[in-house]
Amino acid sequence: MPIITYREALNQAMREEMRRDDRVFLMGEEVGYYQGAYKISKGLLDEFGPQRVLDTPITELGFTGLGVGAAMAGLRPIVEMMTFNFSLLAIDQIVNSAAKLLYMSGGQCKVPMVIRGPGGAGHQLGAQHSQALESWFCHVPGLKVVTPATPADAKGLLKSSVRDNNTVIFIESEVLYGTKGEVPEGENLIPIGVAEIKRPGKHVTIIAHSKMVLVALDAAQQLEKEGIEAEVVDPRTLRPLDTVTLIDSVKRTNRAVIVEEGWPFCGVGAQIADTIQLHAFDYLDAPILRVTGADVPMPYAKNLEHMCLPDKERVMDAVHQVLYRK
Amino acid sequence: MPIITYREALNQAMREEMRRDDRVFLMGEEVGYYQGAYKISKGLLDEFGPQRVLDTPITELGFTGLGVGAAMAGLRPIVEMMTFNFSLLAIDQIVNSAAKLLYMSGGQCKVPMVIRGPGGAGHQLGAQHSQALESWFCHVPGLKVVTPATPADAKGLLKSSVRDNNTVIFIESEVLYGTKGEVPEGENLIPIGVAEIKRPGKHVTIIAHSKMVLVALDAAQQLEKEGIEAEVVDPRTLRPLDTVTLIDSVKRTNRAVIVEEGWPFCGVGAQIADTIQLHAFDYLDAPILRVTGADVPMPYAKNLEHMCLPDKERVMDAVHQVLYRK
Amino acid sequence: MDSSNSAVSAANAAEDHFAEPARPTQEDRARLTDPAVLKNLLEQMLLVRRFEERAAELYTLGKIGGFCHLYIGQEAVGIGAISTLRPEDSILVSYREHGHALARGVDPGEVMAELYGKQSGVSEGKGGSMHLFDKTKGFLGGHGIVGGQIPLATGVAFASKYLKQNGVTLCFFGEAAVNIGSFHESLNLAALWKLPVIYICENNRFGMGTPVERSSALYDLSQKALGYNMARAQVDGMDVLAVRDVVMEAVERARKESLPTLIEARTYRFMGHSMSDPVHGHYRTKGEVDEHKRHDPIKLFTATLESVGQLTQEDVEEIDRKVREVVEDAVAFSERSDDPHPSQLHADVYTE
Amino acid sequence: MDSSNSAVSAANAAEDHFAEPARPTQEDRARLTDPAVLKNLLEQMLLVRRFEERAAELYTLGKIGGFCHLYIGQEAVGIGAISTLRPEDSILVSYREHGHALARGVDPGEVMAELYGKQSGVSEGKGGSMHLFDKTKGFLGGHGIVGGQIPLATGVAFASKYLKQNGVTLCFFGEAAVNIGSFHESLNLAALWKLPVIYICENNRFGMGTPVERSSALYDLSQKALGYNMARAQVDGMDVLAVRDVVMEAVERARKESLPTLIEARTYRFMGHSMSDPVHGHYRTKGEVDEHKRHDPIKLFTATLESVGQLTQEDVEEIDRKVREVVEDAVAFSERSDDPHPSQLHADVYTE
Ligand SMILES: Cc1ncc(C[n+]2csc(CCOP(=O)(O)OP(=O)(O)O)c2C)c(N)n1
Ligand SMILES: Cc1ncc(C[n+]2csc(CCOP(=O)(O)OP(=O)(O)O)c2C)c(N)n1
Ligand SMILES: [Mg+2]
Ligand SMILES: [Mg+2]
């Protein structure tokens, strides 16, 4: 299987879907002539032309709403948020239009749209450019939320998202763009709503999504040396959440650690913890622990930023705790 | 003690704080000449004049940001959202400016502001006008989130919020505005971050905020007839959350039911459940149950809307379940 | 560099494509208009008026709930404008959209049933008064967030151009909506990308209780188009034929040249902001409302049609009888329709 | 009713308070300006230039991280504008704000230390290049969301008026920011409420890789003021004295009449959008950049000062030596400063 970057995987997914279906178009800041702020759309303007690859003014609310309208009227927009931090300006159109039009219209107005871009922290980008807001989108009925961690998932899930007839919030990661992995060639759709066990294990379940999956796998590898077999489960899709796979894993390991980059209070991990205690109450041998981003706006200073982000060590500590190893 | 409405309590709180401190001013749509869309600001324009009671154009992003700037520069704005649904348009200024300026500026820029208005459903207002989004605000470090359920709490907490030097998201309820209760006269500040046991009991803890407190108390009263003594705890402030009081109650009752009006997935209740399982794991005799709004955009039809909102019956069912009574 | 820039700006100074408020009287226009069209316009205006008068009663009886914003007094705008459209065209409106839906030919029974919250409503009872949708008619809502429909309409126009369907999109909003960001962002996008959309600002003087003079620094709202190099027009929104002519021009521009237009229609709201709002609160006097009622678009139009000999008193009464029947049928239909089935609660949150 | 409305609109048609791009040459202006001021302006421009040249090196050395947006080429705008202010005035800028901070007299060492992310930085290392704050100097950031500072600045002006402090607020943003909703909402509020704020649009031709012609339907950006009945001006942003004069007028208008102004300064960015962006990517040629560098505001100004006999080559070198020293001291200070203490992580999320 070819080994490509997460960036290239996303690029292939968009290219293939745009070739397959003329109604698919890409819109966002710098996606065209500039080839994308993070070069995800490299070459797409050349291949598909300015009718289908549109550079927008800096008007997140306007062009996201325009995308929703275009989707209502039969197109299949891919809207790139240069980063998801800027989606806050568009959130009214995402929540009040994209997520509700189908329901409010009694099923008449479908909004097949993908809103994609990097979420979470980069490197020292400061408080306004380092937010992981997936729990917000997960809260909203009518939206689907996808957070791939590997190139293969990125490609397979983006293709499925573009074909989905609902609005999909597709959250990537600046830090993952350069990572490499095997990606099957051609048509390989990964269904939305299906988790994957990234690493099997029987002593503890570590649940992580997006780049935290890599942190979890790191920790698992290290733990193995201590004879601790951690199972790493990646939901891949946060909404709808594949609770069956998560619960099944916890029922086998009886212990759970949830890792997320975002803020702790009302984070996605809280919902996952609630789901686990509800469905696996009698199987739990220890409280569910969460490893999250620090409960602060992201500081610029490197040393402070480092303290904010979950790392291998903190995940291992949590695992030790749920195993009462210290 | 005088008995007044929740509406009147809010009005008194603003009036008293505006009399006490010239830097406090009120801004929002229809707060002046129209006396407030829900008449919360009745009479304030007459008493304080158009310099301190400002009708804004319909520009939530603009006037909220203006409020933040005014707060940075020494004023203490009260910004009324006609309803919190519209705060989605202002969310960038709330999250990226109000919540972060103090931190980003290394402690230099305080933003003493209150953003207040009704949250949640009214009666058949439809999907775009019936959202309970408190979990979103709770997710954000730098914000405080207050959700009073009674006239006394509304007054005492609004006064404290106006005096707080941080940005406070103060969520009221259209359905509560007309409710009455005893409110001590004059200066009666209720500290932010302190929960209240609205009704003591030893068999189960029901945690509810805002108008769900009334639903919980209804259920508790009914349950009493069955010999079930439910303790109803109202956090009153969701961020910072008074975990001590909540945990202490659950440790006594060993059972918890959490009621909220909002959507279930990633709702505030999920965080509360996570907090409880973490700190009271060994005390729980049953999984924590949540009673929430339906996981759908709010429908207009009366019968469907009714099905969406938590009611006494659903709370009682949950209590019976955690008590294994059925 | 400055020179190069000024070259640019010379090529692109805000040209003011201002369409003079058309001079002819309503009589003049009537004489130039097909009698069938005139009759149809009157019939639609009366239908909307009677429909809403009835809706107001039903609201007070508790048959209709939630927010209910009436169009009474503004009928000439929506009806004149929509009379210029073709089937392939689209319409998006704010929450004050009963009149536009009916003008577009959405079934009155299904509209009324929607206000009742019945399964047989256009939006299956899930939308209500603020969220009427009939995709088969290109009627795309009914939107409750001020300004929310403006980017959406811009996108619908974008799709029509992208798909080469040659459709035109009408986007209606109130004068208070011009102050919100989505208006600004959308108009720039439409002008920049040359989209076939017509923005119709229904200036009824008030956003709830706030007069335009206290919400916008510029009162001559069509001039907002200058900031986007967009064609603009201002029209007497109480004159259904004047509105029709101005919109026809804009539709032409959109269909032939794929260019947007901003139109300000000066009108007035005879009722309260919504059914929960008094007809004239602190913010305006009964005198002011009565004064404006003297310009009732239906009265004006009936008088015109009679004066130019297109209609007799009897014809008018005949039409009125007819529309009242339509309204009563709509009410009867709504009364006998079922509430949505409980199973509908979770339907259409997502689609396959 | 229509008449009453037109009365209103007559009283309030978008009057165009357009200040002609001032005619005099930089030499003319120089002759009319206090020599001390001239020298100070040059010194500030050189300080900013040298400071940022050094910052660029340090960024490539990994001493500075995150996004770092340089002001090189645009110095005349911020420095000319800020030279008109008093201590009670305030300044808010985008993320491209090093120059404005230094022009306002924020300590270069503390600014550099902030770029280093040190505890001794103006924002205690928590803000970084994009979030410089020095409240004692009325320098209120440093904002990373495009357009985010515009409502904030409007609010700061509101507070100054409310508190009768008679302060003026300068708000700087790029030309691409005029398309975002917060610009529109803020300018309307400022004009409607007559706030003492001056909006300075630094038109450096590009928003990242997008030229203004592809982001705004109207290229002559100061004309955006027409939509808000606001005074406006356009100025050559490469001429520090022209900028100073135009802003001085606007400051006068703000301070005396409490009225806002929109100023477009035509300038050019000599470096990439940020340090992670090539100087000329696909979106512009080296030739274009070089062409613009011929209008380097510092070169122009030095030439002027020499031609009017205000300065000799030696004076300039002397000033340059001096500012280079200041920059080196700033670097040394940053190097020897400590990282924020870990205990700072949770400090200042909330205040008492
Ligand atoms: C963003 C937003 N803010 C506030 C409201 C509440 N609201 C509903 S209608 C309205 C007034 C709108 O006035 P205008 O745009 O002139 O339309 P009209 O009602 O006069 O037709 C307001 C403030 C809303 N629906 N959306
Ligand atoms: C709302 C928002 N969208 C996108 C971005 C990413 N971004 C940062 S700067 C920039 C270009 C801004 O250009 P301009 O306003 O002309 O300012 P300049 O950088 O030229 O000084 C963009 C798109 C952002 N920071 N905020
Ligand atoms: Mg209006
Ligand atoms: Mg620029």
Atom of ligand 2 nearest to the CA of D96: 21
Ligand 3 mean position to C130 CA, how many Å?
15
Residues touching ligand 1 (Cβ under 6 Å) are B 29, 58, 60, 82, 86, 89; C 94, 96, 144-146, 173-177, 204, 206-208, 273
Q: Using the CB atoms, write b or e for D287-312: b if 16+ within 10 Å.
A: eebeebeebbbbebbbebbeebebbe
- Per CB distance under 8 Å, which residues of A are interface residues toward C? 23, 25, 51, 54, 56-57, 59, 61-75, 92-93, 96-97, 101-110, 141-142, 144, 165-166
Q: What is the pLDDT of residue A128?
A: 98
- Say if CB D89 and CB D168 are below 8 A apart: yes
- Per CB distance under 8 Å, which residues of B are interface residues toward C? 29-30, 33-35, 37, 55, 57-62, 85-86, 89, 122-129, 294-297, 299-304, 307-308
| Interchain contact, A277 vs B273, CB within 8 Å | yes
Q: Which of A266, A285, A321 should one mutate to test binding to chain B, selecting the residue with the greatest count of B CBs within 10 A?
A: A266
Rg from Cα positions in chain C = 20
Residues with Cβ < 8 Å from C112, sequence gap 6 or more?
C51, C55, C327, C330, C331, C333, C334
Token representation of residue D339: 């990282």
Q: What is the pLDDT of residue B326?
A: 74
Known catalytic residue at A123: no
- The DSSP bridge partners found for residue D232 are D18, D262
**With a cut of 50, which residues of chain B have pLDDT below it?**
none
CA distance C268 to A53: 43
pLDDT digits (tens, 9 = 90+) for A287-317: 999 999 999 999 999 999 999 999 999 999 9
CA atoms within 13 A on the CB side of A106: 29
**With a cut of 70, which residues of chain D have pLDDT below it?**
1-15, 17, 19-22
Residue ranges of D 192-251 with Cβ closer than 8 A to chain B: 192-193
Widest Cα–Cα separation across chain B: 60
CA distance D48 to D112: 11
CA distance B228 to A216: 45
Q: What is the pLDDT of residue C5?
A: 36
Q: What is the pLDDT of residue C21?
A: 58
Catalytic residue selected from A17, A29, A60, A80: A60
| Interchain contact, C156 vs A61, CB within 8 Å | no
Q: What is the pLDDT of residue D280?
A: 82
The pLDDT mean for chain A works out to 98
- C chain contacts of residue B300, beta-carbon cutoff 8 Å: 65-66, 114, 117, 123, 125-128, 131
- Nearest Cα to A322, choosing from A264, A276, A263? A276
Neighbouring residues of the ion ligand 4, judged by CB less than 5 Å: D 174-175, 204, 207
CA distance B32 to B55: 6
Token representation of residue C345: 């609660």
**With a cut of 70, which residues of chain C have pLDDT below it?**
1-15, 17-22
Q: Which of B304, B306, B314 should one mutate to test binding to chain C, selecting the residue with the greatest count of C CBs within 10 A?
A: B304
- C chain contacts of residue D261, beta-carbon cutoff 8 Å: none
Is the pLDDT reported for residue A6 higher than 60? Answer: yes
CA distance B116 to B111: 15
- D chain contacts of residue C223, beta-carbon cutoff 8 Å: 13-14, 226-227
- A chain contacts of residue C197, beta-carbon cutoff 8 Å: none
Among the partner-chain residues A103, A140, A287, the one whose CB lies closest to the CB of B277 is A287
**How, if at all, do strands B3-5 and B180-182 pair?**
antiparallel
SS (H, E, C) chain B: CCEEEHHHHHHHHHHHHHHHCCCEEEEECCCCCCCCCCCCCCCHHHHHCCCCEEECCCCHHHHHHHHHHHHHCCCEEEEECCCHHHHHHHHHHHHHHHCCHHHHCCCCCCCCEEEEEECCCCCCCCHHHCCCCHHHHHCCCCEEEECCCCHHHHHHHHHHHHHCCCEEEEEECCCCCCCEEECCCCCCCCCCCCCEEEECCCCEEEEECCCHHHHHHHHHHHHHHCCCCEEEEECCEEECCCHHHHHHHHHHHCCEEEECCCCCCCCHHHHHHHHHHHHCHHHCCCCCEEECCCCCCCCCCHHHHHHHCCCHHHHHHHHHHHCCCC
Triad D224, D226, D228: Cα angle to 5°: 95
What average pLDDT does this structure show over A231-255? 98
| pTM score, whole prediction | 0.97
Q: Is B185's Cβ below 8 Å from some Cβ in A?
A: no
Ligand 4 mean position to D266 CA, how many Å?
10
